[in-house]
Amino acid sequence: MSKKVLVTGGAGYIGSHTVVELQEKNYDVVIVDNLSNSSIDSLDGIQAITGIRPAFEKFDLCDRERVYSFFKKNIDIAAVIHFAASKAVGESVENPLKYYRNNLVSLMNILENMEKFHISNLVFSSSCTVYGQAKELPVTENTPILPASSPYGNTKQVSEEIIRDTMDASDFNRAISLRYFNPIGAHPTALIGELPLGVPDNLVPFITQTGIGIRDKLRVFGDDYNTPDGSAIRDYLHVVDLAKAHVVAIERLLTDKNKANFEVFNLGTGNGVSVFEMIRSFEKVSGVKLNYEVAKRRPGDIEQIWADTTLANNELGWKTKSSLDEAVRTAWQWEKHYRSLNP
């Protein structure tokens, strides 16, 4: 009998790609999502790719009673992957209370009910923002945690502390926190991809929307950073590679391969890519000349960060497979496919 996995935020960008990978490994998936920054249409894409439409419930995970009633009728859940969170760095600077309430209360509601219904296994969607502006690069899992550059990053730091304390207080709970860097790209079928509601906060969807004419121009936030070309540097990994890591993490927990009740792993390529390098990659794979301008730095952004992925490579047996150009190409294919259906 296939094991049931709850995927919170499973209609979203990373969540939907992870649901595909889980279903292709014969897991029984149930999604909870309030659709605040995602679309129910992603379920159509998941079904078209896998032949299976995952179970879905729409509600807000900050609703404590609703979360309890959900877990009460789904006591056969074997593991939880928790994606659901507000995730825009800039917005978190402008509206910090939204981020603290949404990201922390939802997590506490989930952990409370996992304890209540004896569900042991949690994979948490964390972020490289937990490191703040690291003093040494690349960052390892042992890199000191510095003050977060944004309320969003701080919610990820606090969430990890909440999970660690909860795991330490229980004999049977265990969790893996996946600290990922910058996911980009889309499923190779172009049936699901990144579709932010409103103006994109992330670089690649803004690039592809500019390339296709939805946006007039891309703004490059800062060209005066202490980097080779002056633009900010990030570690961009293909979302399908990232999704596969969640399946590996779930299997590690379900087969008792974890070496501690709370483990953390960096997920990235191990390579830093600047904003200008990303623009050049898009222009190369698309054949489209991108209209962009340089703007002042954005509050909450860090200068540069990329991952040391040795631990994930060795312990999880996971590493990225797609190149930057391949990831950007799938993002562009998704953008064109989506706009052809939604002109």
Please write the tens of the pLDDT for every residue from 261-301. 999 999 999 999 999 999 999 999 999 999 999 999 998 88
| 207, 71: one domain | no
Res. 175: pLDDT tops 90: yes
Contact 114, 73 (CB under 8 A): no
- At a CB cut-off of 8 Å and minimum separation 6, what does 138 contact? 235, 270, 272, 306, 307, 308
| 86, 219: one domain | no
Residue located via tokens 């730095």: 297
In the 8-state DSSP scheme, what is residue 307? B
Report the share of the chain in percent with pLDDT over 90.
Answer: 92
List, as one string, the DSSP characters of 58-79: ---TT-HHHHHHHHHH-TTEEE
| 227, 154: one domain | no
Cis peptide before 138 (omega within 30 of 0): yes
Last residue of a domain, one of 267, 289, 318: 267
Q: What is the pLDDT of residues 3-21, one digit of tens each?
A: 999 999 999 999 999 999 9
Res. 342: pLDDT tops 90: no
| 58, 35: one domain | yes
| 144, 220: one domain | no
Q: Is residue 67 a part of any domain in this protein? A: yes
Q: Is residue 197 a part of any domain in this protein? A: no
CATH code at 328?
Answer: 3.90.25.10
Q: What is the pLDDT of residues 19-40, one digit of tens each?
A: 999 999 999 999 999 999 999 9
Average confidence (pLDDT) over 115-134: 95
| 9, 74: one domain | yes
What band does 321 get if pLDDT is binned at 50, 70 and 90? very high
Average confidence (pLDDT) over 142-158: 95
- pLDDT of amino acid 173: 86
- pLDDT of amino acid 198: 87
Q: Is residue 23 a part of any domain in this protein? A: yes
What band does 41 get if pLDDT is binned at 50, 70 and 90? very high
CATH code at 255?
Answer: 3.40.50.720
Neighbours of 53 (CB within 10 A): 13
Number of domains comprising the chain: 2
Please indicate whether residue 152 is annotated as part of the active site. yes
| 52, 155: one domain | yes
Average confidence (pLDDT) over 56-71: 98
Neighbours of 217 (CB within 10 A): 11
Report the share of the chain in percent with pLDDT over 70.
Answer: 100
| 149, 225: one domain | no
| 74, 156: one domain | yes
Q: Is residue 15 a part of any domain in this protein? A: yes
Q: What is the pLDDT of residues 184-193, one digit of tens each?
A: 999 999 999 9
Q: Is residue 191 a part of any domain in this protein? A: no
Return the exposure string of 124-160: e unless at least 16 CB atoms fall within 10 Å of the residue's CB, then b: bbbbbbbbbebeeebbebebeeeebbbbbbbbbbbbb
Q: Is residue 94 a part of any domain in this protein? A: yes
- pLDDT of amino acid 312: 98
Spatial distance between the Cα atoms of 93 and 86, rounded to a whole number of angstroms: 12
- pLDDT of amino acid 51: 98
List, as one string, the DSSP characters of 237-303: EEHHHHHHHHHHHHHHHHTT--SSSEEEEEES-S--EEHHHHHHHHHHHH--PPPEEEEPPPTT--S
Q: What is the mean pLDDT of the chain?
A: 96
- pLDDT of amino acid 201: 86
- pLDDT of amino acid 61: 98
Q: What separation in angstroms does the CA of 111 have from each of 12, 73, 87, 107, 115?
A: 21, 16, 20, 6, 6
Spatial distance between the Cα atoms of 19 and 21, rounded to a whole number of angstroms: 5
pTM score, two decimals?
0.97
Q: Which residue range(s) make up the domain with 84?
A: 4-185+236-267
Q: Is residue 44 a part of any domain in this protein? A: yes
What band does 119 get if pLDDT is binned at 50, 70 and 90? very high
| 17, 69: one domain | yes
- Which ranges of the chain would DSSP assign to H, the alpha helix? 13-24, 41-50, 64-73, 89-94, 96-100, 106-116, 151-168, 203-212, 239-254, 275-286, 310-311, 324-341
Active-site residue, selected from the candidate residues 152, 180, 225, 236: 152
Q: Is residue 138 a part of any domain in this protein? A: yes
| 119, 243: one domain | yes
Q: Are strands 262-267 and 55-57 parallel, antiparallel or unpaired?
A: unpaired
| 252, 113: one domain | yes
Res. 136: pLDDT tops 80: yes
Average confidence (pLDDT) over 250-268: 97
Res. 1: pLDDT tops 80: no
